[in-house]
Structure 1
Amino acid sequence: MWRVLQNCLLYVFLLCTVAPALAGGVLRLDPQAAGQRAAHQIDLLEDPSRILGLSDVQGPEYAERFLPASLVEGDINLGYSKSAYWLRLTVQAPQDHIIRNWLLELGFPALDHISAYIVDKHGWRAYQTGDMLTFDQRPYPHRHFIFPMLLDPGQITTIYLRVESQGTLTLPVMIWTEPALLVYSQSAYGLLALYYGMLLALALYNLLLFLSLRDPVYLAYVLFTVSMAIGQISLNGLGNQYLWPDWPAWGNVALPVGFALCGAFGTWFTRLFLHTRQTAPLYDRVLFGLGGIFAILAAAPLALPYQWVAVLVSLQGISFAVITTSIALFGLRAGNRSARWFLLAWSLLLAGILVMGARNLGWLPTNMLTTHAIQIGSALEMLLLSFALADRIHLAREEKEKAQSETLQAKESMVSALRQSEQLLETRVIERTRELAETNARLRISEARLTELAERDPLTGLANRRRLTEALYQALNQASDRHGEGALLLIDLDHFKPVNDRCGHEAGDRLLQEVARRLHACAGPMDTVARLGGDEFVLLLPPPQSRSTVETLADQLLVSLRQPVDTPAGRHDVSASIGIAYLPHDGHTPEELLKVADLAMYHAKDKGRDNWSRALATDTQP
Structure 2
Amino acid sequence: MKKFNLVKMLMIGLLAGKTAAAATSPIDWGTGTKQLNLGSSMDFYKDETGEASLATVRKLPDSAFASADKANLGFFVKPVWLRFRFTPTAERLMLRHDYAMTDYVTLYEPGKNGYDENTQGDMIDFARRDVKHRLVSFWITPRSTDWYYIRLQTKGSVNLAFTLADATQALESDHVSQYFLGMFFGTIAVMFFYNFFLFFSLREPAYLFYCCYIGSFAILAGTLNGISYQLLWPASPWLQNRAFSIFAGSAMSFGIIFAMLFLNLKQLSRPLYLAAHAVGAAGTGVALSAFVLDPGTSVRIANVLGIPWVLALLSSAVLAWWRDYKPARYFLAAWIVMLAGTVVFTLTTRGVLPPNPFFVNAMLVGSALEVILLSLALADRINVLKKDKERIQQQALDKQKRLTDAYSRFFPRRMLELLDRDSVEQVTLGDATERDMTVLFADIRGFTTLSEKMTPRDSFKFLNSYLKRMSPIIRAHDGFIDKFMGDGIMALFPENSESALKAAITMQQTVRKYNHHRMKSGYDPIRIGIGIHKGALMLGTVGEQERMDGTVISDAVNLASRIESLTKKFDADVLISESVFHDLADPTVYMTRVIARVKVKGKEQPVTVLQVFDGMPDYQIEMLDKTRGAFERGFLSFHERRFADAQAMFRQVIEINPGDSVADMYLEKARYFELIGSTKPLAGAP
TM-score category (smaller protein)? 0.5 to 0.7
Residue matched to 1:91: 86
Specify the SS of the correspondent of 1:395.
helix
How far the C-alpha of 1:48 sits from its partner, in A, is: 2.1
Specify the SS of the correspondent of 1:91.
coil
Residue matched to 2:482: none
How far the C-alpha of 1:323 sits from its partner, in A, is: 3.0
**1:215-262 alpha-carbon deviations (Å, 9 max, x no partner):** 111001100011011111111111211211111111111122111111
Equivalent runs, 1:572-591 vs 2, <5 Å: none
The reply on whether 1:282 has 2:252 as its aligned counterpart is no
**1:247-303 alpha-carbon deviations (Å, 9 max, x no partner):** 111111112211111111111111112221111221111111111001000010222
Which amino acid in structure 1 is aligned with residue 65 of structure 2?
Answer: F
User: Which residue, out of 87, 108, 121, partners 1:117?
Assistant: 108
How far the C-alpha of 1:396 sits from its partner, in A, is: 3.1
Give, in whole Å, the separation in 2 of the partners of 1:270 and 1:281: 14
Change (3 A) 1:363 1:307: same
Change (3 A) 1:197 1:140: same
The reply on whether 1:324 has 2:313 as its aligned counterpart is yes
Residue matched to 1:23: 23
Equivalent runs, 1:153-164 vs 2, <5 Å: 155-164=144-153
Specify the SS of the correspondent of 2:134.
coil
Residue matched to 1:79: 74
Give, in whole Å, the separation in 1 of the partners of 2:30 and 2:256: 48
Give, in whole Å, the separation in 2 of the partners of 1:276 and 1:136: 47
Change (3 A) 1:36 1:122: farther
Give, in whole Å, the separation in 2 of the partners of 1:192 and 1:278: 39
> For this pair of structures, how many residues does the alignment match?
371
Give, in whole Å, the separation in 1 of the partners of 2:352 and 2:113: 41
Change (3 A) 1:376 1:32: farther
User: Which residue, out of 271, 283, 287, partners 1:298?
Assistant: 287
Specify the SS of the correspondent of 1:384.
helix
Specify the SS of the correspondent of 2:174.
helix
Q: Which runs of 5+ in 1 are unaligned?
A: 1-19, 402-622
Give, in whole Å, the separation in 2 of the partners of 1:276 and 1:263: 16
Give, in whole Å, the separation in 1 of the partners of 2:112 and 2:229: 31
Give, in whole Å, the separation in 2 of the partners of 1:279 and 1:211: 27
Change (3 A) 1:258 1:85: same
User: Which residue, out of 395, 398, 411, partners 2:384?
Assistant: 395
Specify the SS of the correspondent of 2:290.
helix
How far the C-alpha of 1:31 sits from its partner, in A, is: 5.4
Residue matched to 1:385: 374
Give, in whole Å, the separation in 2 of the partners of 1:183 and 1:37: 15
Residue matched to 2:97: 106
Bigger drift between 201-210 and 31-40 goes to 31-40
The reply on whether 1:353 has 2:342 as its aligned counterpart is yes
Contact 2:86-2:142 at 8 Å conserved across structures: no
Contact 1:120-1:157 at 8 Å conserved across structures: no
Which amino acid in structure 2 is aligned with residue 55 of structure 1?
Answer: A
Which amino acid in structure 1 is aligned with residue 183 of structure 2?
Answer: L
Give, in whole Å, the separation in 1 of the partners of 2:226 and 2:31: 27
Give, in whole Å, the separation in 1 of the partners of 2:159 and 2:244: 14
Residue matched to 1:68: 67
Contact 1:31-1:177 at 8 Å conserved across structures: no
Specify the SS of the correspondent of 2:354.
coil
Contact 2:107-2:150 at 8 Å conserved across structures: yes
User: Which residue, out of 230, 233, 243, partners 2:219?
Assistant: 230
Specify the SS of the correspondent of 1:260.
helix
Larger Rg: 1 or 2? 1
Give, in whole Å, the separation in 2 of the partners of 1:139 and 1:255: 24
Specify the SS of the correspondent of 1:227.
helix
Which amino acid in structure 2 is aligned with residue 322 of structure 1?
Answer: L
Specify the SS of the correspondent of 1:244.
coil
Residue matched to 1:487: none
How far the C-alpha of 1:351 sits from its partner, in A, is: 1.8
Give, in whole Å, the separation in 1 of the partners of 2:320 and 2:32: 54
Bigger drift between 116-125 and 51-60 goes to 116-125
TM-score (norm 1): 0.57
Equivalent runs, 1:159-558 vs 2, <5 Å: 159-398=148-387
Residue matched to 2:127: 136
Which amino acid in structure 2 is aligned with residue 80 of structure 1?
Answer: F
Give, in whole Å, the separation in 1 of the partners of 2:114 and 2:56: 19
Q: Over the residues paired in the alignment, what is the CA RMSD in angstroms?
A: 2.3
Give, in whole Å, the separation in 2 of the partners of 1:44 and 1:83: 13
Contact 1:120-1:150 at 8 Å conserved across structures: no
Residue matched to 1:41: 41
How far the C-alpha of 1:52 sits from its partner, in A, is: 0.8
How far the C-alpha of 1:117 sits from its partner, in A, is: 0.7
Contact 1:321-1:353 at 8 Å conserved across structures: no
Change (3 A) 1:367 1:121: farther
Give, in whole Å, the separation in 2 of the partners of 1:130 and 1:175: 18
Give, in whole Å, the separation in 2 of the partners of 1:285 and 1:309: 24
**Percent identity for Structure 1 against Structure 2:** 28
Residue matched to 1:55: 55
**1:338-391 alpha-carbon deviations (Å, 9 max, x no partner):** 211111122112221222222222233221122101111112223323322221
Specify the SS of the correspondent of 2:298.
helix
Contact 1:315-1:357 at 8 Å conserved across structures: no
Give, in whole Å, the separation in 2 of the partners of 1:377 and 1:258: 17
Change (3 A) 1:202 1:32: farther
Give, in whole Å, the separation in 2 of the partners of 1:160 and 1:292: 44
Runs of 4+ that moved beyond 4 A: 120-123, 398-401
Larger relative contact order, structure 1 or 2 (CA cutoff 8 Å, min sep 6): 1
TM-score (norm 2): 0.52
**1:398-430 alpha-carbon deviations (Å, 9 max, x no partner):** 5999xxxxxxxxxxxxxxxxxxxxxxxxxxxxx
Contact 2:21-2:66 at 8 Å conserved across structures: no
Give, in whole Å, the separation in 1 of the partners of 2:87 and 2:262: 57
Contact 1:24-1:43 at 8 Å conserved across structures: yes
Give, in whole Å, the separation in 2 of the partners of 1:138 and 1:189: 19
How far the C-alpha of 1:133 sits from its partner, in A, is: 0.9
Give, in whole Å, the separation in 1 of the partners of 2:148 and 2:354: 24
Change (3 A) 1:381 1:326: same
Specify the SS of the correspondent of 1:321.
helix
Contact 1:122-1:150 at 8 Å conserved across structures: no
Contact 1:120-1:151 at 8 Å conserved across structures: no
**1:100-139 alpha-carbon deviations (Å, 9 max, x no partner):** 1011111111111111112268863211111011012222
